[in-house]
Structure 1
């Protein structure tokens, strides 16, 4: 009986996976919780550190909001997250996405997490923090404050799920630049993701990690199956969505920040990738189950140069909307409870 049950579940997974790949009907209605066995689904992810105060000074009228809203729509994002956002920019983007009919439910598609509240040094007295937007109606949001780095900006982790899938969580974070606190915060975030895994849930994350793929403190993140000249000695369970880019530093991916790293932290492909890659997206490798069609890809996009009032610097040209690139990812994974074949 146990063998037959295992075979039934395995065959069910294969049928559902095949359906997902050939474009048959969706596995569950929007108002119905997903079944407690795995099914395959694709998510399109989008993240941007907009430097909302450092560069745009909290502006909602310099072109930044329009660039973000258009990109989210054009890339058909299911989840979009932001670092370094002013609360006024968050509100303006909500309105822009509503006007564009992007969310399914225009009253329940975003979550805000402040890291600095009402400080005149940030956002002209507005809150400053991170945000998540979702095309489908959102369910619960979980928020954690990361271990302190000794500065006046508490760093956070936020995770959300949609109402139609309580077993899949999208998370965002902005890790400190301060060392060794960067490593402490990375471990804390990883522990939260692994807690989701232990409970049978899947978690995806996009954010500004302020660590490059080849750094030793990310070895516990990257899967041991990833072992390239550009990124080796890994012991973890996760794949970064741009780590399989064969054209841009395999195992490392394409740069995301316009400021050059310190000389001793130069990327392994400095000749072709001279700038830092610090904005990352991760999925747990066990959720991919490639024999059933699971997979992933990622990219970073050129920065729009259409934001008024931003002067040129040594790192970026005039009118650059941020000093970070937008990163996008696509991942096909098993997103139900206990999402691996070996769980049955």
Structure 2
């Protein structure tokens, strides 16, 4: 069969070809550019009571409990308080065995709160705070907080994501000494505000040893958090559990067997904060303490609950 020529078809065909070639030559945004405008992170935090409940042990079920929860929850960032130095090494090994991380030598940070060799903690290994990340980490901020005379030097530990320097993950474990709480809470808040005010996205998880309705956190919680259980706020952050229906503005208890909290709950001192202006969606849950530690694997693994959260944030990068 012969195809009949169409008047002007040749000119039309060359016009289409030229348009396609020109379009193909136009620069296109990298796939990561659009994706980087918003990011969703999963955060996991636990005060594991590494000395108090385990005396520094790595063989009584505690490392398996950590690895099991992380393997199930699949967080991007992990914060652990009261972790002995040898337990930190064991967690690194466990995470690497699970396929963590992208950068085997650059995904964890540790900051001691007691000196190595101090027989009072962790059989001489020392105790501290730690962060772990599925992403390679960049520069680290290690800040000493006002000393409270307790024998533990409280710290703030932060590191940014190497591929996304404006995203910073932090942990802290603040004092139980009332006279020093305001100074420590204020110093940590000041560091986060310095990050936030220059356009970074700081994410902090830790045992603050103050509860959501404490006046010390009024400069943290966003003013939109205004409930019976938590009001008087004028800050710029959301605690990722502040929408919990059980106790709006306050959230779920992170300790057990006491009556120190709001809405008939035990106390809540383990908190995860993210700048409100960056959040597009968030949630958090506190999970009951597992009784899978000890010689017979029937003892509580901590006196704190594991908290896991999800935060979708605008990164600006």
TM above 0.5, yes or no, is: yes
- For the pair 1:281 / 2:272, whether they are aligned, the reply is yes
Q: Counterparts of 2:294 and 2:91 in 1: how far apart (Å)?
A: 17
Instruction: Give how far 1:25 is off.
Output: 5.3
Aligned to 1:144: 143
249, 252, 255: which one aligns with 1:251: 249
Q: Counterparts of 1:207 and 1:310 in 2: how far apart (Å)?
A: 29
Instruction: Give how far 1:156 is off.
Output: 0.3
The CA deviation string for residues 116-139 of structure 1, in whole angstroms up to 9 with x for no partner, is 012100011112100100011111
Task: Give the length in aligned residue pairs.
Answer: 287
RMSD of equivalent CA atoms: 1.8
Aligned to 2:130: 131
Q: Counterparts of 2:34 and 2:90 in 1: how far apart (Å)?
A: 33
Gap change, CA 1:28 and 1:86, over 3 Å in 2: farther
Decide whether the 8 Å contact of 1:168 with 1:336 is kept in 2: no
Q: Counterparts of 1:163 and 1:214 in 2: how far apart (Å)?
A: 35
Aligned to 1:191: 190
Unaligned runs of 5+ in 2: 1-29
Aligned to 2:302: 322
Determine which structure has more spread, i.e. the larger CA radius of gyration: 2
- For the pair 1:297 / 2:278, whether they are aligned, the reply is no
The CA deviation string for residues 51-100 of structure 1, in whole angstroms up to 9 with x for no partner, is 00011110000111011112112111110011001011000111011111
SS in 1 for 2:157: strand
Instruction: Give how far 1:260 is off.
Output: 2.0
Q: Counterparts of 1:179 and 1:259 in 2: how far apart (Å)?
A: 22
1:1-344 alignment runs, 5 A limit: 26-27=32-33, 39-118=37-116, 119-246=118-245, 248-260=246-258, 266-270=260-264, 273=265, 275-288=266-279, 294-309=280-295, 319-336=299-316
The CA deviation string for residues 164-195 of structure 1, in whole angstroms up to 9 with x for no partner, is 11010000000001112111100110000000
Scaled by the length of structure 1, the TM-score of the pair is 0.80
